[in-house]
Amino acid sequence: MAQSAENARKPLDWEKLEIGETFPAFSYVLTQEMLDEYRTGVTDPEAAFPTISHKVDVGAYNRAYTDAGSVNARCAFYCYNPPAPGKRITVHAWIADKYLRRGKTYICTEAVSVDEDGRLLDRVITHELKQPGEVGKKWG
Amino acid sequence: MGVGRSYTIGDELPPLVKHMTQEAINLFEGSAGHHGPSQFTDEATARATLGTRGTVASGRMSLTFALEFLRRYFGSSIFNRGGMVDLRFLRPVRPGDFVTFKGKITGITKEANGSRVSVEISATNQTGETTGAGGGNCLVPSGFLPPDE
Protein backbone atom coordinates (compact mmCIF):
# COMPACT_ATOMS: atom_id res chain seq x y z
CA MET A 1 0.00 0.00 0.00
CA ALA A 2 2.74 2.41 1.00
CA GLN A 3 4.67 1.40 -2.09
CA SER A 4 1.75 2.17 -4.41
CA ALA A 5 1.24 5.53 -2.70
CA GLU A 6 4.93 6.29 -3.21
CA ASN A 7 4.65 5.31 -6.87
CA ALA A 8 1.72 7.68 -7.29
CA ARG A 9 3.89 10.66 -6.42
CA LYS A 10 5.33 12.55 -9.33
CA PRO A 11 8.47 14.65 -9.54
CA LEU A 12 7.78 18.35 -9.15
CA ASP A 13 7.97 20.30 -12.40
CA TRP A 14 7.71 23.84 -11.05
CA GLU A 15 7.01 25.32 -14.49
CA LYS A 16 4.03 23.03 -14.97
CA LEU A 17 2.66 23.25 -11.44
CA GLU A 18 -0.80 24.80 -11.65
CA ILE A 19 -2.00 27.43 -9.20
CA GLY A 20 -5.36 26.17 -7.96
CA GLU A 21 -4.45 22.50 -8.09
CA THR A 22 -6.47 20.85 -5.35
CA PHE A 23 -5.24 17.84 -3.43
CA PRO A 24 -7.42 14.97 -2.21
CA ALA A 25 -9.04 15.76 1.15
CA PHE A 26 -7.77 13.70 4.06
CA SER A 27 -8.69 13.29 7.69
CA TYR A 28 -7.20 12.28 11.02
CA VAL A 29 -8.31 12.10 14.63
CA LEU A 30 -6.66 14.60 16.96
CA THR A 31 -5.76 12.80 20.18
CA GLN A 32 -5.15 14.19 23.65
CA GLU A 33 -1.64 12.73 23.43
CA MET A 34 -0.95 14.78 20.27
CA LEU A 35 -2.17 17.93 22.01
CA ASP A 36 -0.11 17.25 25.16
CA GLU A 37 3.05 16.50 23.19
CA TYR A 38 2.59 19.64 21.10
CA ARG A 39 2.06 21.82 24.17
CA THR A 40 5.14 20.38 25.84
CA GLY A 41 7.21 20.96 22.71
CA VAL A 42 6.24 24.61 22.44
CA THR A 43 6.34 25.12 26.24
CA ASP A 44 2.87 26.59 26.21
CA PRO A 45 0.22 24.72 28.24
CA GLU A 46 -2.51 26.82 26.59
CA ALA A 47 -1.40 26.34 22.97
CA ALA A 48 -4.67 25.71 21.20
CA PHE A 49 -3.79 24.78 17.62
CA PRO A 50 -1.77 21.55 17.46
CA THR A 51 -2.89 21.41 13.84
CA ILE A 52 0.16 23.61 13.13
CA SER A 53 2.64 20.80 13.73
CA HIS A 54 0.72 18.53 11.36
CA LYS A 55 1.85 20.74 8.45
CA VAL A 56 -1.32 19.76 6.65
CA ASP A 57 -0.87 22.00 3.63
CA VAL A 58 2.62 20.89 2.69
CA GLY A 59 1.75 17.35 3.77
CA ALA A 60 -0.91 17.23 1.09
CA TYR A 61 1.60 18.52 -1.45
CA ASN A 62 4.20 15.96 -0.36
CA ARG A 63 1.74 13.11 -0.88
CA ALA A 64 1.38 14.22 -4.49
CA TYR A 65 4.91 15.29 -5.43
CA THR A 66 8.53 14.42 -4.86
CA ASP A 67 11.24 17.09 -4.88
CA ALA A 68 14.65 17.93 -3.43
CA GLY A 69 13.15 19.22 -0.21
CA SER A 70 12.14 22.66 0.89
CA VAL A 71 12.51 25.41 3.44
CA ASN A 72 9.66 27.29 5.02
CA ALA A 73 10.09 30.92 4.01
CA ARG A 74 6.84 32.38 5.28
CA CYS A 75 3.75 31.10 7.02
CA ALA A 76 0.38 32.61 7.89
CA PHE A 77 -2.07 31.04 10.28
CA TYR A 78 -5.69 32.05 10.93
CA CYS A 79 -7.44 30.93 14.13
CA TYR A 80 -11.19 30.30 13.96
CA ASN A 81 -11.96 27.60 16.56
CA PRO A 82 -9.52 25.52 18.64
CA PRO A 83 -9.72 21.84 17.69
CA ALA A 84 -10.97 19.42 20.34
CA PRO A 85 -9.19 16.14 21.12
CA GLY A 86 -11.15 13.08 20.00
CA LYS A 87 -12.68 14.83 17.00
CA ARG A 88 -11.93 13.83 13.42
CA ILE A 89 -10.43 16.67 11.42
CA THR A 90 -10.77 16.91 7.65
CA VAL A 91 -8.26 18.92 5.65
CA HIS A 92 -8.71 20.51 2.24
CA ALA A 93 -5.48 21.73 0.65
CA TRP A 94 -4.44 23.30 -2.63
CA ILE A 95 -1.68 25.16 -4.46
CA ALA A 96 -2.39 28.83 -3.75
CA ASP A 97 0.50 30.44 -5.61
CA LYS A 98 3.98 30.04 -7.03
CA TYR A 99 6.63 32.61 -7.80
CA LEU A 100 10.23 33.16 -8.79
CA ARG A 101 12.36 35.46 -6.63
CA ARG A 102 16.08 36.15 -7.07
CA GLY A 103 16.28 33.12 -9.33
CA LYS A 104 14.77 30.78 -6.73
CA THR A 105 11.47 28.97 -7.04
CA TYR A 106 8.78 29.12 -4.38
CA ILE A 107 5.45 27.42 -4.04
CA CYS A 108 2.62 28.50 -1.79
CA THR A 109 0.26 25.90 -0.33
CA GLU A 110 -2.93 26.62 1.56
CA ALA A 111 -5.25 24.44 3.64
CA VAL A 112 -8.32 24.70 5.81
CA SER A 113 -9.18 22.27 8.61
CA VAL A 114 -12.77 21.46 9.59
CA ASP A 115 -13.86 19.15 12.38
CA GLU A 116 -16.53 16.43 12.29
CA ASP A 117 -19.14 18.89 13.61
CA GLY A 118 -18.51 21.20 10.69
CA ARG A 119 -16.62 23.81 12.71
CA LEU A 120 -14.00 25.70 10.72
CA LEU A 121 -10.82 25.39 12.80
CA ASP A 122 -8.03 27.19 11.03
CA ARG A 123 -6.45 28.20 7.75
CA VAL A 124 -2.75 27.97 6.97
CA ILE A 125 -0.75 29.41 4.08
CA THR A 126 2.88 28.39 3.61
CA HIS A 127 5.54 29.72 1.23
CA GLU A 128 8.27 27.16 0.60
CA LEU A 129 11.62 27.77 -1.07
CA LYS A 130 12.29 24.71 -3.20
CA GLN A 131 16.08 25.00 -3.05
CA PRO A 132 16.73 24.00 0.58
CA GLY A 133 20.51 24.05 0.17
CA GLU A 134 20.34 27.85 0.04
CA VAL A 135 19.96 27.86 3.83
CA GLY A 136 23.34 26.26 4.41
CA LYS A 137 25.00 28.42 1.77
CA LYS A 138 23.78 31.60 3.42
CA TRP A 139 23.76 30.78 7.13
CA GLY A 140 25.88 27.68 7.54
CA MET B 1 -20.34 43.17 30.70
CA GLY B 2 -17.73 45.47 32.26
CA VAL B 3 -15.79 48.22 30.55
CA GLY B 4 -13.54 46.68 27.91
CA ARG B 5 -9.90 47.20 27.30
CA SER B 6 -8.73 49.96 25.01
CA TYR B 7 -6.07 49.70 22.33
CA THR B 8 -3.95 52.55 20.97
CA ILE B 9 -1.65 52.67 17.97
CA GLY B 10 1.93 52.56 19.22
CA ASP B 11 1.14 50.44 22.28
CA GLU B 12 3.91 47.90 22.82
CA LEU B 13 3.16 44.30 23.70
CA PRO B 14 4.96 42.58 26.59
CA PRO B 15 7.88 40.65 25.03
CA LEU B 16 7.85 36.86 24.95
CA VAL B 17 11.11 34.87 25.25
CA LYS B 18 11.26 31.24 24.15
CA HIS B 19 14.15 28.81 24.52
CA MET B 20 14.62 26.42 21.61
CA THR B 21 15.91 22.96 22.46
CA GLN B 22 16.37 19.80 20.41
CA GLU B 23 13.98 18.04 22.78
CA ALA B 24 11.32 20.67 22.07
CA ILE B 25 11.85 20.29 18.32
CA ASN B 26 11.54 16.51 18.59
CA LEU B 27 8.30 16.83 20.57
CA PHE B 28 6.87 19.33 18.10
CA GLU B 29 7.62 17.05 15.15
CA GLY B 30 6.55 13.91 17.02
CA SER B 31 3.22 15.38 18.07
CA ALA B 32 2.06 15.04 14.48
CA GLY B 33 3.60 11.62 13.94
CA HIS B 34 6.71 12.89 12.18
CA HIS B 35 9.13 10.48 13.85
CA GLY B 36 11.51 9.74 10.98
CA PRO B 37 14.82 11.56 10.55
CA SER B 38 14.40 15.04 9.12
CA GLN B 39 16.27 18.32 8.85
CA PHE B 40 14.66 19.20 12.17
CA THR B 41 15.58 16.12 14.15
CA ASP B 42 18.67 14.58 12.56
CA GLU B 43 22.00 16.35 12.03
CA ALA B 44 23.06 14.21 9.08
CA THR B 45 19.79 14.84 7.29
CA ALA B 46 20.06 18.57 7.98
CA ARG B 47 23.61 18.65 6.56
CA ALA B 48 22.53 16.69 3.47
CA THR B 49 19.32 18.62 2.80
CA LEU B 50 20.05 22.14 3.99
CA GLY B 51 23.84 22.20 4.13
CA THR B 52 23.63 23.52 7.67
CA ARG B 53 26.00 22.60 10.49
CA GLY B 54 23.19 20.99 12.43
CA THR B 55 19.46 20.77 12.85
CA VAL B 56 17.16 23.77 12.64
CA ALA B 57 13.70 24.31 14.06
CA SER B 58 10.69 24.32 11.80
CA GLY B 59 9.47 27.81 11.03
CA ARG B 60 6.13 26.62 12.33
CA MET B 61 7.58 26.61 15.84
CA SER B 62 8.32 30.32 15.52
CA LEU B 63 4.83 30.73 14.09
CA THR B 64 3.42 28.98 17.16
CA PHE B 65 5.42 31.27 19.46
CA ALA B 66 4.12 34.33 17.60
CA LEU B 67 0.58 33.07 18.07
CA GLU B 68 1.28 32.64 21.81
CA PHE B 69 2.71 36.18 21.89
CA LEU B 70 -0.50 37.67 20.52
CA ARG B 71 -2.82 35.30 22.40
CA ARG B 72 -1.29 36.37 25.73
CA TYR B 73 -1.93 40.00 24.82
CA PHE B 74 -5.46 39.76 23.46
CA GLY B 75 -6.63 36.83 25.60
CA SER B 76 -7.40 33.33 24.39
CA SER B 77 -11.17 33.78 24.28
CA ILE B 78 -10.76 36.49 21.65
CA PHE B 79 -7.55 35.57 19.84
CA ASN B 80 -8.29 31.86 19.33
CA ARG B 81 -11.48 32.79 17.46
CA GLY B 82 -10.35 35.73 15.41
CA GLY B 83 -6.60 36.08 15.46
CA MET B 84 -3.93 35.50 12.88
CA VAL B 85 -0.18 35.73 12.35
CA ASP B 86 1.83 36.09 9.13
CA LEU B 87 5.55 35.57 9.70
CA ARG B 88 8.54 35.55 7.35
CA PHE B 89 11.44 33.37 8.44
CA LEU B 90 14.67 35.30 7.91
CA ARG B 91 17.32 33.23 9.71
CA PRO B 92 17.42 29.68 11.03
CA VAL B 93 16.47 29.12 14.66
CA ARG B 94 18.68 26.40 16.12
CA PRO B 95 18.70 24.32 19.29
CA GLY B 96 20.05 26.43 22.14
CA ASP B 97 18.71 29.72 20.76
CA PHE B 98 16.67 32.12 22.84
CA VAL B 99 14.15 33.92 20.66
CA THR B 100 12.46 37.13 21.80
CA PHE B 101 9.20 38.26 20.24
CA LYS B 102 8.37 41.96 20.32
CA GLY B 103 5.56 43.95 18.79
CA LYS B 104 3.47 47.06 18.80
CA ILE B 105 0.05 48.06 17.58
CA THR B 106 0.17 49.57 14.12
CA GLY B 107 -3.48 49.95 13.21
CA ILE B 108 -7.07 49.70 14.38
CA THR B 109 -9.88 49.42 11.88
CA LYS B 110 -13.61 49.13 12.42
CA GLU B 111 -15.30 46.08 10.95
CA ALA B 112 -18.86 44.84 10.90
CA ASN B 113 -18.37 42.72 14.01
CA GLY B 114 -15.78 44.64 16.00
CA SER B 115 -12.40 46.26 15.54
CA ARG B 116 -9.38 44.64 13.95
CA VAL B 117 -6.23 45.46 15.90
CA SER B 118 -3.05 45.00 13.85
CA VAL B 119 0.35 44.30 15.35
CA GLU B 120 3.87 44.42 13.89
CA ILE B 121 5.96 41.47 15.07
CA SER B 122 9.71 40.86 15.19
CA ALA B 123 11.66 37.89 16.49
CA THR B 124 15.34 38.16 17.41
CA ASN B 125 17.82 35.65 18.76
CA GLN B 126 20.22 36.01 21.69
CA THR B 127 22.79 37.82 19.54
CA GLY B 128 20.26 40.35 18.30
CA GLU B 129 19.84 38.90 14.82
CA THR B 130 16.34 39.03 13.41
CA THR B 131 15.04 35.51 12.84
CA GLY B 132 11.50 36.43 11.86
CA ALA B 133 9.36 39.41 11.00
CA GLY B 134 5.81 40.06 10.04
CA GLY B 135 2.53 40.91 11.57
CA GLY B 136 -0.68 39.69 12.97
CA ASN B 137 -4.06 40.93 13.96
CA CYS B 138 -7.03 40.13 16.10
CA LEU B 139 -10.68 40.89 15.60
CA VAL B 140 -11.83 42.29 18.94
CA PRO B 141 -15.63 42.20 19.29
CA SER B 142 -17.15 45.56 20.20
CA GLY B 143 -18.38 44.06 23.48
CA PHE B 144 -14.77 43.81 24.62
CA LEU B 145 -13.98 47.43 23.78
CA PRO B 146 -14.81 50.57 25.75
CA PRO B 147 -18.04 52.21 24.56
CA ASP B 148 -17.67 54.81 21.83
CA GLU B 149 -17.56 58.40 23.07
Domain ranges (residues) in chain A:
2-139
User: The complex's ipTM?
Assistant: 0.95
Confidence grade of residue B149 (pLDDT, cut at 50, 70, 90): low
Sheet holding A88-101, edge to edge: A26-29, A88-101, A104-115, A120-129, A71-79, B83-89, B130-140, B114-124, B98-111, B16-19
Q: Which residues of B touch A48 (CB under 8 A)?
A: 71, 76, 80
Q: Which residues of A touch B67 (CB under 8 A)?
A: 47, 49, 52, 77, 79
Which architecture, in CATH terms, is A2-139?
A: Roll (3.10)
Contact B49 A133 (CB under 8 A): yes
pLDDT for position A4? 58
- Chain B CB within 8 Å of residue A34 CB: yes
Interface test with A, best of B42, B56, B60 (most A CBs within 10 A): B60
pLDDT in tens, B7-30: 999 999 999 999 999 999 999 999
d(CA B80, CA B58): 22
Per-residue pLDDT, averaged over B51-67, amounts to: 97
Structural domains of chain B, ranges and CATH numbers in brackets: 16-20+57-144 (3.10.129.10)
Per-residue pLDDT, averaged over A114-123, amounts to: 98
Contact B31 A38 (CB under 8 A): yes
